[in-house]
């Protein structure tokens, strides 16, 4: 019998009625002849509420205690879901992350899974139970509770699927799958049927919130097939797997946006060796994540350095940059919180030149100014004014024919030379 892991996010288990509905879905899947493991998030906005309580007490609560607090959210859901399955006449058993053998490193609030010792879950399946595992939480080898970062239940689900050798990891959510753009800001966005790990990684890294980035990394590293689908319908969603010839060959898979970052600029730093090392070394020591970086052309022996960072790291970033400004004798620093990053993702751009040119032309025609630009081999990202996100996303969605699912058009022979953006 195939093992199927089904993960349900916060909105899918947001009320007791919805928990009863999830129980029915799990029972039905079991009755179709599968061995079922459920991985669940905290109900509704519980994690946000717990966070708000902690922040009402302290601006920077100890991270170990934060994990102790946040892990309670998922524990409520696993118990209620097990009860819901019992109430419908079937057998289920709930496990915390620790009980399910999910071992992580000790980096509290963003721990990494090191190992899944799935024996206890496997034994429950052998006995015919539906096994229910708390998402988002793990245990260090020293016995401390950790959490895996926001959205971490996705990673729990994929890790459990890998540990059990499951046939598929189904991620149930409140949307129908992965879309060519966020349907809330682009009504013409289209559901993608299949997407490669590579593209999904870039989409998740640039703002497609449907899957936690680490879950996609974990799935790619362990070959776990993910099926993202709606918990409110039986429609097939989006399959995330290794690229193969059967996939649609769109040049661009999607356009993503992200308003969760801020831009920090340090002005008039001396233009000499070691300056960038000093700035970013200090930020790394203080655990500040940095995304895009640009350094201006030097004038009069000084230059400006700008970078983007998640707003949630801003308290630490400001402190670190204030110190570095002092140490380097830079003129000043500033923080801009009203920026957005808009990205185009598609494996086809490796072999199709002109994508960057069309992207910049489209944004120019829409009167969108580009503040920063960065690229990977299958992604181009631009930082723009947050107020123009919707305009930018719609214009790009249109220009690249994403609503129609335009497939790759072979152009000139130079199109296969590769590398060109
Ligand atoms: N409850 C956690 C969060 O809200 C983990 C998850 O839902 O995946 O981020
Ligand atoms: Mg989620």
pLDDT tens digits along 141-176: 999 999 999 999 999 999 999 999 999 999 999 899
Ligand nearest to the CA of 72: 1
Is residue 156 within 6 Å of ligand 1 at its C-beta? Answer: no
Higher-confidence residue of 209 and 38: namely: 38
Domain ranges of the chain: 3-174+193-245, 248-421
Q: What is the pLDDT of residue 411?
A: 44
d(CA 361, CA 255): 16
d(CA 162, CA 224): 6
Using the atom order of ligand 1, give the atom closest to the CA of residue 154.
8
Is residue 136 within 6 Å of ligand 1 at its C-beta? Answer: yes
> How wide is the angle at C-alpha 165 spanned by C-alphas 154 and 90, nearest 5°?
75
**Contact by Cβ (8 Å): 140, 109:** no
Beta-strand (E) ranges in 311-378? 332-336, 339-345, 372-376
Q: Average pLDDT, whole number, for the chain?
A: 93
Q: What is the pLDDT of residue 251?
A: 87
Residue 287: other Cβ atoms inside 10 A: 14
Give the model's confidence band at 410: pLDDT under 50 very low, under 70 low, under 90 confident, else very high: very low
302-310 vs 261-270, strand pairing mode: antiparallel
Give the model's confidence band at 299: pLDDT under 50 very low, under 70 low, under 90 confident, else very high: confident
d(CA 319, CA 313): 10
d(CA 89, CA 50): 33
Asked if the domains at 3-174+193-245 and 248-421 fall in one CATH topology, the answer is no
Does domain 3-174+193-245 bear CATH number 3.40.50.10860?
Answer: no
Per-residue model confidence as pLDDT tens digits over 168-195: 999 999 899 999 999 999 999 999 999 9
Ligand nearest to the CA of 210: 2
Please tell me the total number of residues recorded for the chain in this structure.
421
Q: CA 394 → CA 191, 313, 327, 342, distances in Å?
A: 16, 29, 44, 11
Q: What is the pLDDT of residue 406?
A: 60
Is residue 343 within 6 Å of ligand 1 at its C-beta? Answer: no
Ligand nearest to the CA of 149: 1
Q: CA 265 → CA 68, 157, 293, 385, 420, distances in Å?
A: 36, 39, 10, 15, 30
Is residue 10 within 6 Å of ligand 1 at its C-beta? Answer: yes
DSSP structural state of residue 299: B
Per-residue model confidence as pLDDT tens digits over 72-98: 999 999 999 999 999 999 999 999 999
Using the atom order of ligand 1, give the atom closest to the CA of residue 148.
5
In this structure, the dihedral spanned by the alpha carbons of residues 251, 254, 260 and 264, taken in order and rounded to 10 degrees, is 20
Q: What is the pLDDT of residue 413?
A: 37
Per-residue model confidence as pLDDT tens digits over 235-262: 999 999 999 876 767 789 999 999 999 9
CA of 148 to the centre of ligand 1 (A): 9
Q: What is the pLDDT of residue 54?
A: 98
On the 0-12 / 13-18 / 19+ scale of CB atoms within 10 A, 271 is middle
Q: What is the pLDDT of residue 245?
A: 76
**Contact by Cβ (8 Å): 70, 47:** yes
CA of 74 to the centre of ligand 1 (A): 8
Give me the percent of the chain exceeding a pLDDT of 70. 95
Is residue 9 within 6 Å of ligand 1 at its C-beta? Answer: yes
Q: State which H helix or E strand residue 379 sits in.
A: strand 379-385
The residue to mutate among 9, 10, 43, 110, having the most atoms of ligand 1 within 8 angstroms of its beta carbon, is 10
Give the model's confidence band at 417: pLDDT under 50 very low, under 70 low, under 90 confident, else very high: very low
d(CA 102, CA 90): 26
Is residue 152 within 6 Å of ligand 1 at its C-beta? Answer: yes
Helix-helix angle 16-31:63-87, to 10 degrees: 60
Q: What is the pLDDT of residue 407?
A: 55
Q: What is the pLDDT of residue 418?
A: 38
Q: Write the residue with the smallest CA distance to atom 9 of ligand 1.
A: 150
CA of 227 to the centre of ligand 2 (A): 14
pTM to 2 decimal places? 0.89
Is residue 44 within 6 Å of ligand 1 at its C-beta? Answer: no
Q: State which H helix or E strand residue 77 sits in.
A: helix 63-87
DSSP structural state of residue 408: P
Fold of domain 248-421: VC0802-like (3.30.2130)
Residue 407: other Cβ atoms inside 10 A: 11
Q: Write the residue with the smallest CA distance to atom 6 of ligand 1.
A: 151
d(CA 89, CA 334): 61
d(CA 345, CA 375): 10
């Amino acid at each position: 019998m195939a093992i199927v892991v089904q993960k349900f996010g916060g909105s899918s288990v947001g009320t007791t009625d919805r928990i009863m509905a999830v129980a029915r879905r799990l029972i039905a899947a079991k009755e179709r002849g599968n061995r079922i493991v459920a991985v669940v998030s905290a109900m509704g906005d519980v994690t946000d509420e717990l966070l708000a309580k902690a922040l009402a007490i302290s601006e920077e609560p100890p991270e170990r205690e934060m994990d102790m607090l946040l892990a309670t959210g998922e524990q409520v859901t696993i118990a209620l879901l097990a009860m819901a399955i019992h109430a419908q006449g079937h057998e289920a058993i709930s496990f915390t992350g620790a009980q399910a053998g999910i071992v992580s490193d000790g980096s509290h609030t963003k721990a990494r899974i090191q190992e899944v010792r799935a024996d206890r879950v496997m034994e429950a399946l052998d006995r015919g139970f539906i096994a229910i595992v708390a998402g988002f939480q793990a245990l260090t080898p020293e016995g401390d509770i950790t959490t895996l970062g926001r959205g971490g239940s996705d990673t729990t689900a994929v890790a459990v699927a890998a540990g059990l050798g499951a046939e598929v990891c189904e991620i149930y959510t409140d949307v129908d799958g992965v879309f060519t753009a966020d349907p809330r800001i682009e009504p013409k966005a289209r559901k993608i049927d299949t997407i490669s790990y590579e593209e999904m990684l870039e989409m998740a890294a640039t703002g497609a919130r449907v899957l936690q980035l680490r879950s996609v990394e974990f799935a790619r590293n362990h070959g776990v097939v993910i099926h993202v689908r709606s918990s409110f319908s039986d429609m097939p969603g989006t399959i995330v797997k290794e690229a193969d010839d059967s996939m649609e060959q769109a040049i661009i898979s999607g356009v993503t946006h992200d308003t969760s970052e801020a831009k920090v600029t340090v002005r008039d730093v001396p233009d000499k060796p070691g300056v960038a090392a000093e700035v970013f070394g200090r930020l790394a020591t203080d655990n500040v994540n940095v995304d895009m970086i640009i350094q201006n052309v030097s004038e009069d022996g000084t230059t400006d350095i700008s970078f983007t960072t998640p707003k949630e790291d801003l308290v630490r970033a400001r402190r670190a940059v204030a110190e570095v400004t002092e140490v380097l004798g830079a003129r000043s620093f500033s923080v801009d919180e009203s920026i957005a990053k808009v990205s185009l993702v598609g494996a086809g751009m490796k072999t199709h030149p002109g994508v960057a040119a069309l992207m910049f032309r489209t944004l120019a025609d829409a009167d969108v100014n580009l503040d920063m630009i960065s690229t990977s081999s299958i992604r181009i990202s631009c930082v723009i004014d947050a107020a123009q996100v919707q305009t930018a996303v719609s214009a790009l969605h249109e220009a690249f024919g994403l609503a129609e699912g335009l497939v790759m058009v072979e152009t000139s022979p130079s199109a296969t030379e590769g590398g060109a953006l």
